């Protein structure tokens, strides 16, 4: 322990250190204690208010097992949907391949429905519809809504206000009613359902992309690019877009989940793909009347859809948390 300074010297030191009138500062106590220098150093070095650690610390920046489970499930669904024609499955639309409305068995893993069709086969073929509608409609939304969002966020001003005004009008329509109207008007088909859901997704996607474009186009690297003589198109596509892409991607996954649910709702109402074609929402609808006797006919497609939508949400959310690095953590 260092030799304590004589009291008089300490007083001098402390009076010099602290502004007059601040006698209750943390220094005063520290300096009069036994080990003046250590305590003094502590008082000076350690801020009185604990400094909050940056939020995005390293511990938080692990993406976690839930993400990989979700990705695994999504990959499985996509793979099965892609390979459906090659898999040794019963034809999905053939009636009477097995007993009627039987629960899961060795031969029919997910059972059979009220017409004796193989549920597993129908689930897998139904996944094709869900995946095509989910991904394609969001791709349409990203292409159109993303472009408008980038333009609105980068140029702001009148152009931005005009675009966002249009988006607000689109948002004001009840989504389900709009898609019902489109599908009934244009006719039931995979393409029309996809287009309808794509149209609905444009406005929310445009808003999201505009929001993150707003922040990124204020950043200094955009000014730096401009100072190097880059034109606006180049700045938007080469500087802003790569930064916007990350948060957009995670949002897009959630949007796919929403689109899958929306397709399910439409086919539950019988407005998606036409009758014998398997789709998850349609299967839930078909089993509706047998809920008491054979609940599995509705519940299994419902569960598959639930898990799939959950997986998309989870994956999107984990990605967002993972990429959402605060400035302070950099």
Partner 1 sequence: MVRIGRSRGGGDDLVAVPASETSSEPAGSPGLGASAASPASALHKGPLLEVSDLRTGFRSERGLVRAVDGVSFSVERGRTLGVVGESGSGKTVLARSIMGLLPGSRVVREGSVRFEGMEIGRLSGDAQRHLWGAQIAMVFQDPMTSLNPVVRIGRQITETLRRHLDMDKRRAKDTAVALLRSVGIPEPERRLEQYPFELSGGMRQRVTIAIAISCGPKLLLADEPTTALDVTVQAQILNLLGDLQRERHMAMILVTHDLGVVAGRTDHIAVMYAGQIVEMAPTATLFSEMRMPYTEALLKSIPKTGDPSHTRLAAVAGRPPDLVEPPAGCRFAPRCPYAQDNCHREAPPVQTDDSGRHAWACWYPVGTPEGTAALERNLSAGRPQAVMSVVARERTAEPFAGASAHDDQGAGASRPLGAEQA
- The closest alpha carbon to 97, from 122, 78, 71, 73, belongs to 122
CB of 36 or CB of 198, closer to partner 1:
36
Q: Which residues contact 43 (CB under 8 A, 6 or more apart)?
A: 26, 27, 29, 30, 31
Is the alpha carbon torsion for 177, 179, 182, 187 positive or negative?
A: negative
CB of 227 or CB of 292, closer to partner 1:
227
CB of 178 or CB of 241, closer to partner 1:
241
Listed as own residue / partner, the contacts of 63-66 with beta carbons closer than 8 Å and 24 or more positions apart are 63/318, 63/319, 63/322, 64/318, 66/314, 66/318
x/- letters, 2..31, toward partner 1 (CB under 8 A): --------------xx--------------
238 lies in the binding site for partner 1 (CB under 8 A)? yes
CB of 43 or CB of 258, closer to partner 1:
43
Find the shortest distance in angstroms from Cβ 52 to partner 1: 20
229 lies in the binding site for partner 1 (CB under 8 A)? yes
Find out whether 232 and 153 touch, Cβ atoms under 8 Å: no
Q: Which stretch binds partner 1 (CB under 8 A): 123-131, 135-143, 214-222, 274-282?
A: 214-222
The partner residues of 112 in beta bridges, in order of sequence, read 118
Find out whether 289 and 16 touch, Cβ atoms under 8 Å: no
Of positions 87, 223, 291, 303, contacts partner 1 by CB under 8 A: 223
Task: Please state, as a whole number, how many other Cβ atoms lie within 10 Å of the Cβ of residue 253.
Answer: 23
243 lies in the binding site for partner 1 (CB under 8 A)? yes
- Concatenate the DSSP letters of all residues of 160-177 into one string: HHHHHHHHHHHHHS-HHH
57 lies in the binding site for partner 1 (CB under 8 A)? no
Which 61-90 positions form the footprint of partner 1 (CB under 8 A)? none
Question: What is the binding site for partner 1 (CB under 8 A)?
Answer: 16-17, 157, 219-221, 223-231, 238-239, 242-243, 245-246, 330
């Amino acid at each position: 322990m260092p030799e304590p300074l004589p009291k008089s010297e300490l007083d001098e030191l402390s009076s010099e250190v602290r502004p007059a009138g601040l006698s209750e500062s943390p220094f005063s106590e520290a300096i009069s204690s036994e080990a003046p220098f250590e305590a003094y150093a502590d008082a000076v070095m350690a801020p009185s208010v604990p400094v909050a650690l940056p939020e995005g610390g390293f511990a938080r920046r692990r993406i976690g097992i839930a993400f990989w489970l979700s990705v695994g499930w999504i990959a499985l669904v996509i793979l099965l949907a892609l390979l459906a024609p090659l898999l040794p499955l019963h034809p999905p639309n053939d009636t009477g391949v097995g007993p009627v409305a039987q629960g899961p068995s060795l031969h029919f893993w997910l059972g059979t429905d009220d017409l004796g069709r193989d549920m597993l086969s129908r689930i897998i073929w139904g996944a094709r519809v869900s995946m095509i509608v989910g991904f394609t409609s969001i791709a349409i939304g990203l292409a159109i809504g993303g472009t408008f969002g980038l333009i609105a966020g980068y140029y702001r001003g009148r152009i931005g206000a005009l675009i966002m005004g249009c988006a607000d009008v689109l948002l004001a329509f009840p989504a389900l009613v709009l898609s019902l109207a489109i599908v009934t008007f244009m006719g039931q088909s995979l393409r029309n359902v996809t287009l309808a859901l794509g149209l609905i997704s444009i406005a929310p996607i445009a808003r999201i992309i505009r929001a993150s474009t707003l922040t990124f186009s204020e950043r200094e690297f955009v000014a730096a690019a401009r100072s190097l003589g880059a034109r606006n198109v180049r700045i938007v596509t080469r500087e802003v877009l790569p930064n916007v892409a990350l948060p957009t991607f995670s949002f897009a996954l959630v949007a796919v989940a929403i689109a899958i649910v929306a397709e399910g709702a439409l086919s539950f109402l019988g407005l998606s793909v036409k009758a014998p074609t398997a789709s998850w929402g349609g299967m839930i609808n078909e089993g509706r009347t047998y809920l008491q006797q054979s609940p599995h006919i509705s519940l299994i497609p419902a569960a598959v859809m639930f898990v799939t939508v959950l997986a998309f949400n989870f994956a999107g959310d984990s990605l967002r948390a993972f990429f959402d690095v605060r400035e302070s953590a950099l």
